[in-house]
Amino acid sequence: MWLEIGFGGGEHLAWQAEHNPDVALIGAEPFINGVASLLGLIDRQGLNNIRIYQDDAADLMDALPEASIARCFLLFPDPWPKRRHHKRRFVRPENLDRLARILADGAEFRAATDHMEYGRWMLWHLLAHPAFDWPAEAAADWRFRPADWPQTRYEAKAAKDGRSSLYFSFRRRNRAQ
C-alpha cells in the first residue's frame, strides 16, 4: 500500500495507480477541488486501486496500522514560508514520528519542493530523525526527478516561473537496528 499526502489535483496519484495496478494507493487531501479533480481522473482512466481520505493526513496516519505503507509521497506541499506559520509545515517531528510508525522497514519516502528554504527545512528534519536514511550519493540524486516520478502541475508551474525543484528520497530504517 502506498500513500500520497496532499495530492493536489491527483495527477501524480492517478499516474502511479495506472502504472502500478497491483498496488493499493491512498490519497489524503482536505480540499474538495483536488478531490473532485482526482475523482474525474479515476473515472476517465478506469482506475480501481485508489482510495481517498478527504481530511487531515495526520489523522489518517494515526489510524493506519504500523509498518503498513511501502511508499509515501509528499510532493510540493505548502511551504508556509512565514516564520509564524512554520508550525503548519507537514515535515516536522510529530509528523515524521507518525510517518516512521506507518512505513514498513525499507519503505521509501519521497518529498519534493520548489521552495529552497523549505527544502533545507525538510532535509534538516529528516536527517535528524532516527528512523530515516538518505541514500543520496551525488547532487544528481536530489536535483533530478526519477523516471517513475511524473511531473506534477506544481512542479511545472515552478519550472515555468524559473524555480528549480528538489527531489528527496529517504528510506525507513529497519526497526531492529
Pick the closest to residue 139 from 163, 156, 119, 115 (CA basis): 119
Among residues 55, 56, 62, 78, which one is catalytic?
78
Verify whether residue 161 is a known catalytic residue: no
CA distance 127 to 155: 24
In this structure, are residues 54 and 88 in contact, taking their beta carbons and an 8 Å threshold? no
Q: Measured on CA atoms in the order 30, 157, 69, 14, is the torsion positive or negative?
A: positive
Phi, psi of 174 (to 5 degrees): -65, 140
Look up residue 167 and give its amino acid: Y
SS3 108: strand
Q: Tell me the CB-side half-sphere exposure of residue 85, using CA atoms within 13 A.
A: 7
Cell (9 digits) for 132 = 530515516
Beta-bridge partners for 108: 71, 171
Residues known to be catalytic: 78
